[in-house]
Amino acid sequence: MVISPKVRGFICTTAHPDGCREHVRRQIGYVKQKGAFESPKKVLVVGCSSGFGLATRIAAAFGGGAATLGVMFEKPASEKRTATAGYYNTAAFEAEAAEAGLYAKTINGDAFSPAVKEEAIRLIKEDLGQVDMVVYSLAAPRRTMPDGTVYTSVLKTVGEPFTNKNLDLRTGEITQVTIPPAAPEEVEATVKVMGGEDWMDWMTALSAAGVLAKGAVTVAYSYIGPSLTYPIYYQGSIGMAKNHLFKTSQEITKQFADDGIKAYISVNKALVTQSSAAIPIVPLYISILYKVMKEKGLHEGCIEQMDRLFREKLSGSPVVDEEGRIRLDDYELREDVQAAVMEAWDNISSENIAQYTDLEGYWEDFYRIFGFKFDNVDYTRDIPLV
């Protein structure tokens, strides 16, 4: 089958295996060209197949020489459908790792489930003995509990509705959107899915099984952003979950202090990923941000961010802010960057969108997540799906 992109709203329902491989290779190339760094050597990445998790895995393996065990929730190809991008990314990563003589195995299943945690523990025991780093990079829409209860996360405000400009990804026009407040149960469900409870469950299970090395480090990812997006992000339902994630980092450090385990939140930059494209208002903010940061030579993608995490923030004693958080959003939140973004935000309309946004860059990143728009990939190739 000749695979082309099929975009529906903010997702693409097809993915290209050659393009995904190229995406992974370019990220590996970036890290290798910057040279090796000191990092943990046995790394578990929960949410390893796309976005920040995949970039972390690539950086740990190809910059730090780490053996990596990944956990993902992806679909293989069927006779009619391509696999998901994360599936192809992971196949490509494993092939590249094997070629480089690096251990890489991946569990495809629900990270929230006890069965997947047990499988990870089994593999660590068998192959690695212990892990010295756990990366928690899940972005999930829902969580199924062992008793069958399903919690679904929502992207809503807390308290008041919030109206602001929005980029309609289908028409490319600037519209107004009103985001309704979440009901208390919805906030609670979002915290269940995207908060720290499952991160703590992972750490507890790994520790109880004796597969966490003394002095191991664990990192989960968060976002703060500018005050403009506070109502929908930082102070919204997802922000409540991220706040819980932050508190969990402090609890993990306290609970496993005897083993010298340290948990960190890394506050990352806003980037186009499968998850962020789904958040109202954020795609418009991102496309303005891209333009400003590219003009200032400050733009980074997932791999640049995760490379910097290891190289600058985690080598030696971690570089943290006054609350103990790693800040990879330092460039994004720089005063001059935000001043330029706010000016654009105030002036933007459907008529002048090209002047104020890097829509092309937004869409390029979007398509590349699914393996499209690489100039050196032959998209006319007939590819057997299974």
Binding site for ligand NAI (CB under 6 A): 47-53, 71-74, 86, 110-112, 137-140, 221-223, 268, 270-271, 273-276
Torsion angle defined by CA atoms of residues 208, 324, 141 and 96, in that order, rounded to the nearest 10 degrees: -70
Which residue of the set 151, 233, 264, 285 is catalytic? 233
**Catalytic annotation present for 331:** no
We find the least distance from the C-beta atom of residue 321 to ligand NAI, in angstroms, to be: 15
| Residue bearing tokens 């706040």 | 243
Q: 210: which residues sit within 8 A by CB, 6+ positions away?
A: 130
We find the least distance from the C-beta atom of residue 332 to ligand NAI, in angstroms, to be: 9
**CB-nearer residue toward ligand NAI: 294 or 381:** 294
**CB-nearer residue toward ligand NAI: 66 or 139:** 139
We find the least distance from the C-beta atom of residue 222 to ligand NAI, in angstroms, to be: 6
**CB-nearer residue toward ligand NAI: 160 or 323:** 323
We find the least distance from the C-beta atom of residue 351 to ligand NAI, in angstroms, to be: 28
**CB-nearer residue toward ligand NAI: 17 or 51:** 51
Paired residues of 181 in beta bridges: 157
Q: 219: which residues sit within 8 A by CB, 6+ positions away?
A: 56, 133, 134, 135, 136, 263, 264, 265, 266, 309, 314, 326
What is the crossing angle of helices 335-347 and 282-295, to 10°? 130
Give the H or E element holding residue 192. Answer: helix 184-194
Do the strands 212-222 and 173-179 form a parallel or antiparallel pair, or are they unpaired? unpaired
Answer whether 64's CB lies under 8 Å from 100's CB. no
We find the least distance from the C-beta atom of residue 339 to ligand NAI, in angstroms, to be: 21
Cα distances (angstroms) measured from residue 89 to each of 60, 249, 340, 382: 16, 29, 35, 19
**CB-nearer residue toward ligand NAI: 19 or 53:** 53
- Rounded to 5°, angle at Cα 193 from 187 and 196: 100
We find the least distance from the C-beta atom of residue 29 to ligand NAI, in angstroms, to be: 20
**CB-nearer residue toward ligand NAI: 39 or 275:** 275
Q: 307: which residues sit within 8 A by CB, 6+ positions away?
A: 30, 31, 34, 55, 59, 63
Lookup: tokens for 332: 């994004």
Do the strands 7-8 and 11-12 form a parallel or antiparallel pair, or are they unpaired? antiparallel
| Catalytic sites, residue numbers | 233
